[in-house]
A = this chain, B = another copy of it.
């Protein structure tokens, strides 16, 4: 299993390589998890930056974690059903650093293991790779999310993971959200077995159904290490995220944070705090949900229109992604090349693979946050064209 983790590293950097790709004029990208550029509040962030710098040079100096930002986060956590205190918060350089910190905290003992679903956010594998943990995988369940029964079963192998990685709401890449019953089962499972859960809730902040699903952390304080971020709801480039942890872990996490990049991204922290001094967090989230809901619906409708009989998917209730499966994909990595030639891109399922059993070559992840609805419609049409051309091509070869 250790070997797998090492082998994974280069492949997962595929996302980064996609990011490095200059935007082709004609290409519609359904690949990355970028927020919509037109929903990024450049003018308002500019005002916040100006206000912060007018207060004097201290915003540019080394400084302590921003209190005002922490109070905004406490309020935001309320929207996720979570009661917490500022003393339980550690500010991080985005959610990715939160993962890196929790990996350091939990995996410094080299014999450690982690438990993840077979399809997992590659950034988690990158963050844990330096510690070469054994990787216990849980089969994917597209209907109810994290499969607690399977996890229960996996535990019988005798390997106790240092933590379980979970995305309860708006899973990346699967799009699935755990229902209440399953979420209760998860918390019960963790508590009963004294297992830490790293809850990555970056996408849980954006939900599209009437009833908003709360975070796992709202059900359990002792075992859940919650990760949040302003990347999807404000601006990725500011790199401001947080860990909400049992308070006794904050000093250790703080010392680890100092080792990674000191504890002082003062400027960006202050800009975010200032922004939310003026703009309501709930209002901002509602605004984004309204827009992203439309894009999600557009993608669902386009899939219905163009690919209903060829592929399977579930309409996600949160987050940024559709997980689409089809035996007709053949190897989705090869399909991607054809698709790019036809002006549309996505991430092949294989990029999210975290185990030896399934390679997800029959799956792709489609992002709906970045493109306007018209582009989504056009992109799915191109994808359908690509799939049919391929099928036709295979048929001709056989003939």
Q: Point out residues on A near B: beta carbons under 8 Å.
A: 9-10, 13, 16, 19-20, 32, 34-35, 37-38, 40-43, 45-46, 49-50, 53-54, 56-64, 93-94, 96-97, 100, 104, 108, 110, 123, 126-127, 129-130, 132, 231, 235-239, 254-256, 258-268
- Choose from B32, B61, B94, B255 the contact partner of A10 (Cβ within 8 Å): B255
Could you list some 20 contacts between A and B, CB below 8 A? A10-B255, A13-B255, A13-B258, A19-B63, A20-B64, A40-B57, A42-B53, A42-B57, A42-B60, A45-B53, A46-B50, A46-B53, A61-B235, A62-B231, A97-B261, A104-B130, A110-B110, A237-B264, A237-B267, A260-B260
**For A56, what are the chain B residues with a Cβ–Cβ distance below 8 Å?**
37, 42
- Choose from B41, B96, B231 the contact partner of A259 (Cβ within 8 Å): B96
Are A40 and B63 also in contact (CB < 8 A) when A96-B259, A267-B238 are? no
**For A104, what are the chain B residues with a Cβ–Cβ distance below 8 Å?**
130
Which 3 pairs, one residue from A and one from B, show the smallest C-beta to C-beta distance? A126-B259, A60-B235, A40-B57
**For A262, what are the chain B residues with a Cβ–Cβ distance below 8 Å?**
16, 94, 96, 123, 239
Give the docked Cα–Cα distance between A43 and B171 (Å).
Answer: 42
Report whether A38 and B62 are in contact in the complex, using a CB–CB cutoff of 8 Å. Answer: no
Shortest CB–CB separation between residue A66 and chain B, in angstroms? 11
**Total copies of the chain:** 2
**For A129, what are the chain B residues with a Cβ–Cβ distance below 8 Å?**
259
**For A13, what are the chain B residues with a Cβ–Cβ distance below 8 Å?**
254-255, 258
**For A256, what are the chain B residues with a Cβ–Cβ distance below 8 Å?**
130
- Choose from B45, B46, B62, B127 the contact partner of A260 (Cβ within 8 Å): B127
Report whether B254 and A64 are in contact in the complex, using a CB–CB cutoff of 8 Å. Answer: no
Give the docked Cα–Cα distance between A46 and B50 (Å).
Answer: 6
Report whether B9 and A255 are in contact in the complex, using a CB–CB cutoff of 8 Å. Answer: yes
**For A235, what are the chain B residues with a Cβ–Cβ distance below 8 Å?**
60-61, 267
Shortest CB–CB separation between residue A120 and chain B, in angstroms? 14
Give the docked Cα–Cα distance between A266 and B40 (Å).
Answer: 14
**For A35, what are the chain B residues with a Cβ–Cβ distance below 8 Å?**
61
Are A40 and B62 also in contact (CB < 8 A) when A10-B255, A235-B267 are? no
Report whether A126 and B46 are in contact in the complex, using a CB–CB cutoff of 8 Å. Answer: no
Are A61 and B37 also in contact (CB < 8 A) when A16-B263, A94-B261, A255-B10 are? yes
Report whether B259 and A127 are in contact in the complex, using a CB–CB cutoff of 8 Å. Answer: yes
Are A258 and B53 also in contact (CB < 8 A) when A35-B61, A60-B40 are? no
- Choose from B19, B110, B261, B265 the contact partner of A62 (Cβ within 8 Å): B19
Report whether B53 and A236 are in contact in the complex, using a CB–CB cutoff of 8 Å. Answer: no
Report whether A61 and B46 are in contact in the complex, using a CB–CB cutoff of 8 Å. Answer: no
**For A45, what are the chain B residues with a Cβ–Cβ distance below 8 Å?**
53, 60
Shortest CB–CB separation between residue A127 and chain B, in angstroms? 5
**For A236, what are the chain B residues with a Cβ–Cβ distance below 8 Å?**
60-62, 264, 266
Give the docked Cα–Cα distance between A232 and B63 (Å).
Answer: 14
**For A261, what are the chain B residues with a Cβ–Cβ distance below 8 Å?**
93-94, 96-97, 100, 239, 260-261
Report whether A64 and B255 are in contact in the complex, using a CB–CB cutoff of 8 Å. Answer: no
**For A110, what are the chain B residues with a Cβ–Cβ distance below 8 Å?**
110
Report whether A61 and B40 are in contact in the complex, using a CB–CB cutoff of 8 Å. Answer: yes
Give the docked Cα–Cα distance between A34 and B9 (Å).
Answer: 37
Report whether B63 and A130 are in contact in the complex, using a CB–CB cutoff of 8 Å. Answer: no
List 6 additional contacts besides A37-B58, A42-B59, A46-B53; criterion CB under 8 Å: A19-B62, A32-B62, A42-B53, A46-B54, A60-B237, A238-B267
